[in-house]
Structure 1
Amino acid sequence: MSKRNIEIPVHCKGIAVVLLKKFGEEYKVLLLKRATSILKDAWCYIGGSIEEGESAWQSAFREIEEETGITEVLLYTSNKLDQFYSPYENYIYMAPVFVGYVNDDQKVNLNYEHSEYKWLSFNEALEQVTLPGNDEVLTFIEKHFVKNTPSKLLRVRNYK
């Protein structure tokens, strides 16, 4: 009797965005506290679904504006994926991670999905994030987008 191998499906239906803002000489990371039933009270960076007809980068711009009210951002793809396994639905969720540099004049205006926000140093953000794996994403972003200048090839142009 042969056993058939079963694959775990991979779903890539969303995006993640880490926003950076310079305070003096230091870049800080925006973390948001979830207010809805999905991940309630979890501290995380921006995340959301890709809507029909959108590319991932278009979703990133939309989610930034919806969740924070920020409209001016210099956006890069990071070449990093946010991922987790859902034991309830038996799939692996993967989302491309984008990095956005925010201008000084851009203020955060949260929507209903979040109850609080904080601009934190990378060390503080690493201690604050709730989900395992978020710390790896933040460490990667710090190395490639704060301590080093990102490649121009990773820059996302807003073609609205």
Structure 2
Amino acid sequence: MKKLNLIIVYNPDETKVLMCKRSKDPYKGMYNFVGGKVEEHETLQEAAYRELFEETGIKKEEIILTHLMNFQYFISNIELEVFVGKLYTEISLKEEVNPLVWISRSENFCDCTRFAGECNIEHMLQQVDYYRNIVFKKL
């Protein structure tokens, strides 16, 4: 299976998540988490940190990523690995291709006119909420 990743990044006070506005399909013009392809020689964790740095400029020293979940799409032969982390401090972001924006956690992430993934984003964020003490305990 082809492996891809998504990285959920929270600001230090956990009130906002970092999203990119997609510049190409799928979901062109919609907001999604940053992420990309897992290279053959990489571990899932290495790929998540690499993609995060390439797309945002966030360094490994500025965040701890935890593997939250994965989704398997058998028909399209894709496995999507989802990581989550919280920044230690506020930082300046570097945009690679897609514009980056901090979006309030109180937004309706099931709004399919604005957010990619047919409500999967809200599901992922609810999982983070549910496991918050475990996910962010490592920080």
- With structure 2 as the length reference, what TM-score do the two structures score? 0.80
Where has structure 1 moved over 6 Å in runs of 4 or more? none
Residue 11 of structure 2 is aligned to residue 21 of structure 1: yes
- Matched positions, count: 132
* Cα distance, 1:81 vs structure 2: 1.7
* Cα distance, 1:93 vs structure 2: 2.6
Which residue of structure 2 aligns with residue 130 of structure 1? 116
Using a 3 Å threshold, how does the CA distance of structure 1 residues 95 and 104 change in structure 2: closer, same or farther? same
Q: Which runs of 5+ in 1 are unaligned?
A: 1-10, 156-160
Q: Which runs of 5+ in 2 are unaligned?
A: none
Which residue of structure 2 aligns with residue 93 of structure 1? 78
Deviations 1:13-58 (A, max 9, x none): 11111001124xx431111101134432121001211112101100
Distance 2:53 2:5 in 1: 14
* Cα distance, 1:125 vs structure 2: 5.8
- With structure 1 as the length reference, what TM-score do the two structures score? 0.71
* Structure with bigger gyration radius: 1
* Cα distance, 1:122 vs structure 2: 1.8
